[in-house]
Amino acid sequence: MASCCFPDILCWFQNLPSISQWKSKSLSLFICSSSSSSQSPSLNLSVTRADPVLQSSSPTIVFSINVEFSLIPVALWTSKHYKTDSRSSKLLGEETFPSLSVNFVEDVLHYNGNPCRTGNSYGLRVPKPELDSNFKEIFNLAFLTLVLLVCIYEAPMDLRSSCLNSLKNHLANCRSRNATKVLMKLLGSNLEEQWMRSINLAITNWILEIQASNHTIRTPSSLFSYSLSTFGLWKVHLYCPVIAMDTVNSTHSPPDERLLFSLNYHQLEGVIQFNYRVLKQQNWLDVVVNTDNI
């Protein structure tokens, strides 16, 4: 059964004990499952000690999103390798977490079909977030989004439906929407577009799968839209898969099947910009709003 509260992923990472305190080769965190039965498959986040190439090498660890069938894990996603902090009782040093968040973001972008080529002059480099008051929300949102995409593309059918409904709700709550604003500001407009395309392509494939089984689903617009405000300016960013939008039936002949197929894999991208000013009257305030750009 999917949890009503998504776990605090960054807190789990920060409190992982050093390898010397482990009783097994890996540690796991439950994310969701298809039912409350202990025999049902579950989706877990795991950290595993990697065998060093040389005996003198520092131990490294790797993170993975696994689906477990009767305690047998199958990796659906695997992170890069990270060095452990041998000087601390904790597994990782604080400097590792920004790199981990970049790992999450890059792998979300890879699902776009136009992967981000870090270190390539022809690609876009994902900036590392600062370890400030917003970092926790950015880190957890990036991981939650990655889990959503991994679940859509990689998870088995009997696990996918239950977990996706829960993940969708977590991404639509106020905390995730506020974190999205911060993350999009960090990424910049070009990576923001790629990020949203990755999500909407995944949602499109999910909807097509559900439609094939004669079910319907509606994607809440709040999941893929956000607004920014500053003095005298409101700016609203809208993103939505075309397939998730309400359609108007036409009395004319149906459109070409090739056109319909193409439209299914497009997304609506919109930016609405408003200028406003507040005028103080004797007993009230007048707010004057003009549409500046669409």
What pLDDT is recorded for position 178?
A: 86
**pTM of the predicted structure, to 2 decimals:** 0.84
Element at 196 (helix H, strand E): helix 189-212
The DSSP 8-state label assigned to residue 112 in this structure reads T
**What span, in angstroms and rounded, lies between the C-alpha atoms of 264 and 285?**
45
DSSP 198-246: HHHHHHHHHHHHHHHTT------GGGGEEEEEETTEEEEEEEEEGGGS-
Amino acid at 226: Y
Pick the range with the lowest mean pLDDT from 103-117, 132-146, 180-194. Answer: 103-117
Per the CB < 8 A criterion, the answer to whether 25 and 48 are in contact is: yes
Q: Which residue has the tokens 């709700």?
A: 169
CB atoms < 10 A from the CB of 251, how many? 4
pLDDT of 86 higher than 90: no
**Confidence at residue 198, expressed as pLDDT on a 0 to 100 scale:** 92
CB contact at 8 A, 38 and 70: no
Asked whether the predicted pLDDT for residue 222 surpasses 60, the reply is no
What are the residue ranges of helices labelled H in 73-156? Answer: 96-110, 135-154
In the prediction, which pLDDT does 112 show? 82
Q: State the chain's mean pLDDT as an integer.
A: 83
Question: Which of 85-89, 143-147, 233-237, 247-251 has the highest mean predicted lDDT (pLDDT)?
Answer: 143-147
List C-alpha distances in Å: 258 to 218, 249, 254, 261: 23, 18, 11, 5
